[in-house]
Homo-oligomer: A and B are copies of this chain.
Amino acid sequence: MNQNLSEADLSHLQEALSRSGQKVTPQRETVFKVLLSKRDHPSVDEVYNRAREAMPGLSLATVYNCLETFVGCGLVRQVNHERESTRYCPNLAPHAHFRDKATGRVHDIDLPPEVLSSLRSILPPGFDSETIEISFHGRTQAKDGHAN
């Protein structure tokens, strides 16, 4: 979390923002960096706390604003589980989420195209889906500590 955004990530941010007529600001850079540097589906509060290490004056409202902006221009996805607080995920590849009952951690589960299309095929005619959210809830016997 100490080094800056890479050239590539910065221009990714830059490009997505300007596509919707918005600017790169220090706050947005900081929040984006937080999301990329630990991909563990943080809540707004977690993003806020991590981001303030690098930018102490940052306000919670701004974190909400930044994240909403990123969702709006397709840079990150929201992840909701029941009525818990919203989490954020910079993984844009099609994937499902698995929420561990015991730890509360959210893991990305890769979603192969054929499963995605078999899922789409269950929709009756007249139903046009723009987004699909798939979430599993259960337990893991994970041996490693990384949370994805």
Give the interface of A toward B (CB within 8 A): 78, 80, 82-83, 86, 96, 98, 101, 107, 109-112, 114-115, 118-119, 121-124, 126-143
18 cross-chain CB contacts under 8 A: A78-B82, A98-B127, A109-B122, A114-B118, A115-B122, A119-B119, A126-B143, A127-B136, A127-B140, A128-B140, A128-B141, A130-B138, A131-B137, A131-B138, A132-B135, A132-B136, A133-B133, A134-B134
On chain B, the residues within 8 Å of A126 by CB distance are 140-143
CB distance from A89 to the nearest CB of B (A): 14
Per the bound structure, the CA–CA distance linking A110 and B119 in Å amounts to 11
Residue of B nearest to A82 (CB): B80
**Residues of the B chain whose Cβ atoms lie less than 8 Å from the Cβ of A109:** 122-124, 127
